[in-house]
Structure 1
Amino acid sequence: MTRITLIDPADATGQTAEQLAQIKAAFGMVPNMFKAVANSPSALASLWGAFGALGNDRLGAKLGEQVAVAIADRNDCRYCLAAHTGLGRKAGATAQEMADAQAGRSADPRTAAALAFALAVVDKRAGVPASDVESLRKAGFDDEEIVELIAHVALNLFTNYVNVALDVPLDFPAVKLTRATA
Protein backbone atom coordinates (compact mmCIF):
# COMPACT_ATOMS: atom_id res chain seq x y z
CA MET A 1 0.00 0.00 0.00
CA THR A 2 1.45 3.33 -1.02
CA ARG A 3 2.55 5.65 1.77
CA ILE A 4 1.48 8.78 -0.11
CA THR A 5 -1.56 9.89 -2.05
CA LEU A 6 -1.41 9.13 -5.76
CA ILE A 7 -2.68 12.23 -7.56
CA ASP A 8 -5.52 11.46 -9.94
CA PRO A 9 -4.79 13.30 -13.19
CA ALA A 10 -8.50 14.21 -13.40
CA ASP A 11 -8.12 16.17 -10.16
CA ALA A 12 -4.87 17.93 -11.08
CA THR A 13 -4.78 21.59 -12.06
CA GLY A 14 -2.40 24.05 -13.67
CA GLN A 15 1.11 22.97 -14.61
CA THR A 16 0.66 19.62 -12.85
CA ALA A 17 -2.36 18.81 -15.02
CA GLU A 18 -0.44 19.84 -18.15
CA GLN A 19 2.54 17.68 -17.26
CA LEU A 20 0.40 14.68 -16.35
CA ALA A 21 -1.32 15.04 -19.74
CA GLN A 22 2.10 15.04 -21.43
CA ILE A 23 3.10 11.96 -19.44
CA LYS A 24 -0.13 10.19 -20.46
CA ALA A 25 0.54 11.06 -24.10
CA ALA A 26 4.08 9.65 -23.82
CA PHE A 27 3.22 6.43 -21.95
CA GLY A 28 -0.42 5.86 -22.89
CA MET A 29 -1.19 6.14 -19.16
CA VAL A 30 0.05 8.05 -16.14
CA PRO A 31 2.33 5.65 -14.26
CA ASN A 32 1.89 5.55 -10.49
CA MET A 33 5.37 6.94 -9.90
CA PHE A 34 4.38 10.19 -11.62
CA LYS A 35 1.11 10.25 -9.66
CA ALA A 36 3.15 10.04 -6.44
CA VAL A 37 5.63 12.72 -7.49
CA ALA A 38 2.73 14.96 -8.62
CA ASN A 39 2.16 15.77 -4.93
CA SER A 40 4.91 18.35 -5.50
CA PRO A 41 4.54 20.42 -8.68
CA SER A 42 8.22 21.38 -8.54
CA ALA A 43 9.38 17.77 -8.10
CA LEU A 44 7.14 16.69 -11.00
CA ALA A 45 8.50 19.48 -13.21
CA SER A 46 12.05 18.44 -12.33
CA LEU A 47 11.40 14.74 -12.93
CA TRP A 48 9.54 15.20 -16.20
CA GLY A 49 12.11 17.70 -17.43
CA ALA A 50 14.93 15.27 -16.68
CA PHE A 51 13.13 12.44 -18.48
CA GLY A 52 12.66 14.68 -21.51
CA ALA A 53 16.22 15.96 -21.57
CA LEU A 54 17.86 12.57 -21.05
CA GLY A 55 15.48 10.91 -23.48
CA ASN A 56 17.20 12.88 -26.23
CA ASP A 57 20.81 12.55 -25.10
CA ARG A 58 23.76 11.06 -26.93
CA LEU A 59 23.81 7.88 -24.86
CA GLY A 60 20.54 6.78 -26.43
CA ALA A 61 17.40 5.25 -25.02
CA LYS A 62 18.64 1.65 -25.01
CA LEU A 63 21.75 2.36 -22.92
CA GLY A 64 19.77 4.66 -20.64
CA GLU A 65 17.30 1.86 -19.92
CA GLN A 66 20.10 -0.66 -19.36
CA VAL A 67 21.66 1.70 -16.81
CA ALA A 68 18.26 2.17 -15.19
CA VAL A 69 17.67 -1.56 -14.64
CA ALA A 70 21.16 -2.05 -13.21
CA ILE A 71 20.61 0.75 -10.70
CA ALA A 72 17.05 -0.39 -9.91
CA ASP A 73 18.27 -3.88 -9.12
CA ARG A 74 21.12 -2.53 -6.99
CA ASN A 75 18.62 -0.40 -5.00
CA ASP A 76 15.94 -3.11 -4.79
CA CYS A 77 13.48 -0.90 -6.67
CA ARG A 78 10.90 -3.26 -8.06
CA TYR A 79 8.95 -0.40 -9.65
CA CYS A 80 11.83 0.99 -11.69
CA LEU A 81 13.04 -2.49 -12.61
CA ALA A 82 9.62 -3.34 -14.02
CA ALA A 83 9.13 -0.03 -15.83
CA HIS A 84 12.62 0.22 -17.32
CA THR A 85 12.73 -3.41 -18.40
CA GLY A 86 9.67 -2.77 -20.54
CA LEU A 87 11.02 0.55 -21.77
CA GLY A 88 14.34 -1.08 -22.64
CA ARG A 89 12.58 -3.66 -24.77
CA LYS A 90 10.73 -0.85 -26.55
CA ALA A 91 14.10 0.87 -27.10
CA GLY A 92 15.40 -2.19 -28.96
CA ALA A 93 17.13 -4.24 -26.25
CA THR A 94 16.58 -7.97 -26.21
CA ALA A 95 15.26 -9.73 -23.13
CA GLN A 96 18.76 -11.16 -22.60
CA GLU A 97 20.39 -7.72 -22.89
CA MET A 98 18.03 -6.36 -20.24
CA ALA A 99 18.61 -9.35 -17.95
CA ASP A 100 22.37 -8.95 -18.35
CA ALA A 101 22.13 -5.20 -17.69
CA GLN A 102 20.08 -5.86 -14.56
CA ALA A 103 23.05 -7.90 -13.30
CA GLY A 104 25.48 -5.16 -14.39
CA ARG A 105 26.81 -7.10 -17.38
CA SER A 106 26.86 -6.75 -21.14
CA ALA A 107 28.54 -8.55 -24.02
CA ASP A 108 29.08 -5.12 -25.60
CA PRO A 109 32.28 -3.58 -24.15
CA ARG A 110 30.94 -0.01 -24.30
CA THR A 111 27.71 -0.95 -22.51
CA ALA A 112 29.66 -3.02 -19.97
CA ALA A 113 31.87 -0.01 -19.20
CA ALA A 114 28.84 2.24 -18.74
CA LEU A 115 27.14 -0.23 -16.42
CA ALA A 116 30.29 -0.78 -14.35
CA PHE A 117 30.76 2.97 -13.98
CA ALA A 118 27.11 3.65 -13.10
CA LEU A 119 27.11 0.96 -10.43
CA ALA A 120 30.44 2.20 -9.05
CA VAL A 121 28.97 5.70 -8.76
CA VAL A 122 25.99 4.26 -6.86
CA ASP A 123 28.03 1.94 -4.64
CA LYS A 124 30.75 4.48 -3.85
CA ARG A 125 28.36 7.44 -3.52
CA ALA A 126 30.16 9.08 -6.46
CA GLY A 127 33.59 8.65 -4.84
CA VAL A 128 34.98 6.86 -7.87
CA PRO A 129 38.70 6.90 -8.64
CA ALA A 130 40.08 8.57 -11.76
CA SER A 131 40.70 5.11 -13.20
CA ASP A 132 36.93 4.51 -13.40
CA VAL A 133 36.52 7.61 -15.57
CA GLU A 134 39.53 6.56 -17.64
CA SER A 135 37.90 3.18 -18.24
CA LEU A 136 34.93 5.00 -19.75
CA ARG A 137 37.23 7.02 -22.00
CA LYS A 138 38.95 3.82 -23.17
CA ALA A 139 35.52 2.41 -24.02
CA GLY A 140 34.86 5.43 -26.26
CA PHE A 141 32.96 7.82 -24.00
CA ASP A 142 33.67 11.54 -24.26
CA ASP A 143 33.10 14.21 -21.61
CA GLU A 144 29.53 14.92 -22.72
CA GLU A 145 28.57 11.26 -22.50
CA ILE A 146 30.27 10.84 -19.12
CA VAL A 147 28.25 13.73 -17.69
CA GLU A 148 25.08 12.30 -19.26
CA LEU A 149 25.80 8.94 -17.65
CA ILE A 150 26.07 10.61 -14.24
CA ALA A 151 22.80 12.45 -14.96
CA HIS A 152 21.14 9.08 -15.64
CA VAL A 153 22.48 7.78 -12.33
CA ALA A 154 21.11 10.80 -10.47
CA LEU A 155 17.68 10.56 -12.12
CA ASN A 156 17.44 6.86 -11.36
CA LEU A 157 18.47 7.32 -7.75
CA PHE A 158 15.66 9.86 -7.34
CA THR A 159 13.05 7.58 -8.90
CA ASN A 160 14.31 4.54 -6.97
CA TYR A 161 14.12 6.45 -3.71
CA VAL A 162 10.60 7.74 -4.45
CA ASN A 163 9.31 4.29 -5.32
CA VAL A 164 10.99 2.40 -2.50
CA ALA A 165 10.48 4.96 0.28
CA LEU A 166 6.86 5.62 -0.66
CA ASP A 167 6.02 2.02 -1.63
CA VAL A 168 4.55 3.06 -4.97
CA PRO A 169 2.43 0.20 -6.36
CA LEU A 170 3.51 -1.49 -9.57
CA ASP A 171 1.56 -0.76 -12.71
CA PHE A 172 4.02 -2.52 -15.06
CA PRO A 173 4.64 -6.28 -15.37
CA ALA A 174 6.82 -7.36 -12.45
CA VAL A 175 10.45 -8.41 -12.96
CA LYS A 176 12.29 -10.45 -10.35
CA LEU A 177 15.10 -8.65 -8.53
CA THR A 178 18.40 -10.48 -8.63
CA ARG A 179 20.20 -8.57 -5.89
CA ALA A 180 17.47 -9.43 -3.38
CA THR A 181 18.24 -13.12 -3.81
CA ALA A 182 22.02 -12.68 -3.74
Structure 2
Amino acid sequence: MNARVSLVSATDTPDASRALLDAVHGAFGATPNMFRAVANSPAALQAMWGFFGALGGGSLPAKLAEQIAVAVADRNGCEYCLAAHTMLGRKAGASAAEMSAAQAGESADPATAAVLGFALKLVAQRGQVGDADVAALRAAGFGDGQIVEILAHVALNLFTNYVNVAFAVPVDFPAVKLRSAA
Protein backbone atom coordinates (compact mmCIF):
# COMPACT_ATOMS: atom_id res chain seq x y z
CA MET A 1 0.00 0.00 0.00
CA ASN A 2 1.22 3.47 -0.85
CA ALA A 3 1.10 6.35 1.59
CA ARG A 4 -1.86 8.70 1.15
CA VAL A 5 0.48 11.71 1.16
CA SER A 6 3.85 11.90 -0.50
CA LEU A 7 6.94 10.84 1.40
CA VAL A 8 9.30 13.70 0.63
CA SER A 9 12.76 12.91 -0.65
CA ALA A 10 16.01 14.87 -0.67
CA THR A 11 14.97 16.44 -3.99
CA ASP A 12 11.44 17.55 -3.08
CA THR A 13 11.68 18.47 0.61
CA PRO A 14 10.19 21.90 1.31
CA ASP A 15 13.03 24.29 2.12
CA ALA A 16 11.57 25.01 5.56
CA SER A 17 11.63 21.27 6.39
CA ARG A 18 15.18 20.54 5.20
CA ALA A 19 17.10 21.42 8.39
CA LEU A 20 14.65 19.53 10.58
CA LEU A 21 14.81 16.44 8.37
CA ASP A 22 18.60 16.64 8.57
CA ALA A 23 18.28 16.62 12.38
CA VAL A 24 15.91 13.63 12.22
CA HIS A 25 18.34 11.82 9.94
CA GLY A 26 21.18 12.55 12.35
CA ALA A 27 19.20 11.19 15.29
CA PHE A 28 18.09 7.98 13.57
CA GLY A 29 20.86 7.41 11.02
CA ALA A 30 18.08 7.43 8.41
CA THR A 31 14.92 9.42 7.78
CA PRO A 32 11.92 7.35 8.92
CA ASN A 33 8.90 7.42 6.61
CA MET A 34 6.72 9.08 9.26
CA PHE A 35 8.93 12.17 9.25
CA ARG A 36 9.06 12.14 5.44
CA ALA A 37 5.24 12.26 5.41
CA VAL A 38 4.99 15.00 8.02
CA ALA A 39 7.70 17.06 6.27
CA ASN A 40 5.10 18.01 3.65
CA SER A 41 4.11 20.63 6.27
CA PRO A 42 7.11 22.44 7.77
CA ALA A 43 4.87 23.63 10.63
CA ALA A 44 3.70 20.08 11.46
CA LEU A 45 7.26 18.76 11.25
CA GLN A 46 8.51 21.52 13.55
CA ALA A 47 5.71 20.75 16.02
CA MET A 48 6.37 17.00 15.99
CA TRP A 49 10.15 17.21 16.23
CA GLY A 50 9.91 19.87 18.95
CA PHE A 51 7.47 17.69 20.89
CA PHE A 52 9.86 14.72 20.70
CA GLY A 53 12.78 16.90 21.76
CA ALA A 54 10.97 18.49 24.68
CA LEU A 55 9.72 15.20 26.09
CA GLY A 56 13.07 13.52 25.44
CA GLY A 57 14.52 16.03 27.89
CA GLY A 58 11.71 15.54 30.40
CA SER A 59 11.63 13.76 33.74
CA LEU A 60 10.25 10.40 32.60
CA PRO A 61 12.80 7.71 31.76
CA ALA A 62 13.07 6.79 28.07
CA LYS A 63 12.04 3.19 28.82
CA LEU A 64 8.77 4.34 30.41
CA ALA A 65 8.10 6.74 27.53
CA GLU A 66 8.50 3.87 25.05
CA GLN A 67 6.22 1.64 27.12
CA ILE A 68 3.56 4.36 27.00
CA ALA A 69 4.09 4.64 23.24
CA VAL A 70 3.55 0.93 22.53
CA ALA A 71 0.45 0.78 24.74
CA VAL A 72 -1.10 3.75 22.94
CA ALA A 73 -0.01 2.48 19.50
CA ASP A 74 -1.57 -0.91 20.07
CA ARG A 75 -4.81 0.64 21.34
CA ASN A 76 -4.97 2.85 18.23
CA GLY A 77 -4.02 0.08 15.80
CA CYS A 78 -0.87 1.92 14.69
CA GLU A 79 1.50 -0.69 13.32
CA TYR A 80 4.08 1.98 12.46
CA CYS A 81 4.42 3.36 15.99
CA LEU A 82 4.21 -0.09 17.54
CA ALA A 83 7.18 -1.21 15.43
CA ALA A 84 9.23 1.96 15.95
CA HIS A 85 8.66 2.25 19.69
CA THR A 86 9.20 -1.46 20.36
CA MET A 87 12.64 -1.07 18.80
CA LEU A 88 13.30 2.18 20.69
CA GLY A 89 12.12 0.60 23.94
CA ARG A 90 14.57 -2.24 23.52
CA LYS A 91 17.33 0.32 22.92
CA ALA A 92 16.20 2.09 26.12
CA GLY A 93 16.76 -1.07 28.14
CA ALA A 94 13.37 -2.79 28.14
CA SER A 95 13.27 -6.52 27.60
CA ALA A 96 11.18 -8.05 24.83
CA ALA A 97 8.81 -9.34 27.52
CA GLU A 98 8.48 -5.86 29.07
CA MET A 99 7.64 -4.32 25.70
CA SER A 100 5.14 -7.06 24.92
CA ALA A 101 3.46 -6.55 28.30
CA ALA A 102 3.42 -2.78 27.80
CA GLN A 103 1.75 -3.30 24.44
CA ALA A 104 -1.11 -4.90 26.41
CA GLY A 105 -1.02 -2.06 28.95
CA GLU A 106 0.59 -4.26 31.59
CA SER A 107 3.78 -4.30 33.64
CA ALA A 108 5.16 -6.31 36.56
CA ASP A 109 6.37 -2.99 37.98
CA PRO A 110 3.47 -1.37 39.89
CA ALA A 111 4.47 2.21 39.00
CA THR A 112 4.75 1.38 35.29
CA ALA A 113 1.44 -0.50 35.44
CA ALA A 114 -0.21 2.58 36.97
CA VAL A 115 1.15 4.79 34.19
CA LEU A 116 0.06 2.43 31.42
CA GLY A 117 -3.41 2.07 32.92
CA PHE A 118 -3.75 5.85 33.12
CA ALA A 119 -2.46 6.30 29.55
CA LEU A 120 -4.92 3.79 28.14
CA LYS A 121 -7.77 5.31 30.12
CA LEU A 122 -6.90 8.72 28.65
CA VAL A 123 -7.10 7.23 25.15
CA ALA A 124 -10.23 5.15 25.70
CA GLN A 125 -12.12 7.91 27.48
CA ARG A 126 -10.76 10.82 25.41
CA GLY A 127 -9.19 12.47 28.42
CA GLN A 128 -12.20 12.01 30.68
CA VAL A 129 -10.38 10.81 33.79
CA GLY A 130 -11.27 11.57 37.38
CA ASP A 131 -9.74 12.44 40.73
CA ALA A 132 -9.15 8.77 41.59
CA ASP A 133 -7.17 8.23 38.37
CA VAL A 134 -4.76 11.05 39.16
CA ALA A 135 -4.61 9.99 42.83
CA ALA A 136 -3.55 6.49 41.72
CA LEU A 137 -0.55 7.98 39.90
CA ARG A 138 0.36 10.02 42.98
CA ALA A 139 0.09 6.86 45.10
CA ALA A 140 2.47 5.16 42.64
CA GLY A 141 5.05 7.88 43.33
CA PHE A 142 4.47 10.39 40.55
CA GLY A 143 4.34 14.14 41.15
CA ASP A 144 2.21 16.64 39.30
CA GLY A 145 4.95 17.48 36.80
CA GLN A 146 5.40 13.83 35.89
CA ILE A 147 1.64 13.32 35.66
CA VAL A 148 1.38 16.20 33.19
CA GLU A 149 4.31 14.74 31.27
CA ILE A 150 2.59 11.33 31.09
CA LEU A 151 -0.39 13.04 29.48
CA ALA A 152 1.97 14.87 27.08
CA HIS A 153 3.47 11.53 26.01
CA VAL A 154 -0.02 10.20 25.32
CA ALA A 155 -0.83 13.32 23.28
CA LEU A 156 2.36 13.05 21.22
CA ASN A 157 1.62 9.41 20.52
CA LEU A 158 -1.93 10.21 19.46
CA PHE A 159 -0.46 12.71 16.98
CA THR A 160 2.01 10.21 15.54
CA ASN A 161 -0.52 7.34 15.54
CA TYR A 162 -3.02 9.44 13.64
CA VAL A 163 -0.40 10.54 11.10
CA ASN A 164 0.62 6.96 10.37
CA VAL A 165 -2.85 5.43 10.35
CA ALA A 166 -4.62 8.23 8.45
CA PHE A 167 -1.90 8.54 5.82
CA ALA A 168 -1.08 4.79 5.59
CA VAL A 169 2.62 5.47 6.13
CA PRO A 170 4.64 2.36 5.19
CA VAL A 171 6.37 0.78 8.20
CA ASP A 172 10.15 0.97 7.91
CA PHE A 173 11.01 -0.65 11.26
CA PRO A 174 10.93 -4.35 12.17
CA ALA A 175 7.23 -5.30 12.27
CA VAL A 176 5.45 -6.11 15.54
CA LYS A 177 2.05 -7.78 15.59
CA LEU A 178 -0.80 -5.74 17.01
CA ARG A 179 -2.61 -7.32 19.97
CA SER A 180 -5.86 -5.37 19.74
CA ALA A 181 -8.00 -3.97 17.01
CA ALA A 182 -8.36 -0.20 17.16
TM over 0.5: yes
Aligned-residue offset at 1:129: 1.2
Partner of 2:66: 65
2:173 is matched with: 172
CA distance in 2, matches of 1:135, 1:9: 47
TM-score, with normalisation over the residues of structure 2? Answer: 0.97
List runs of 5+ in structure 1 lacking aligned partners: none
> In the alignment, residue 19 of structure 2 is paired with which amino acid?
E
For residue 166 of structure 1, what is the amino acid of its counterpart? F
Measure the CA separation in 1 of the matches of 2:102 and 2:73. 10
Structure 2 equivalent of residue 117 of structure 1: 118
Matched letter for residue 38 of structure 1: A
* Greater displacement, 3-12 / 165-174: 3-12
Identity level (%):
62
Number of residue pairs aligned between Structure 1 and Structure 2: 181
CA contact (8 A) 2:13 2:40 kept: no
Paired letter, 1:81: L
1:1-182 map, 5 Å: 1-180=2-181
- Residue 13 of structure 1 deviates from its aligned partner by 4.6
Per-residue CA deviations over 1:141-181 (Å, capped at 9, x if unaligned) read 0010001000000000000000001000010010000003x
Deviation at 1:56, TM superposition (A): 1.3
Structure-1-length-normalised TM-score: 0.97
Point out where structure 2 has 5 or more consecutive residues left out of the alignment.
none
Given that 1:34 and 1:44 are in contact with CA atoms closer than 8 Å, whether structure 2 keeps it comes out as: yes
Q: Which contiguous aligned blocks of 4+ residues in structure 1 show a shift greater than 2 angstroms?
A: 9-15
Q: Distance in 2 between matches of 1:3 and 1:42?
A: 19
Q: Cα RMSD over matched residues?
A: 1.1
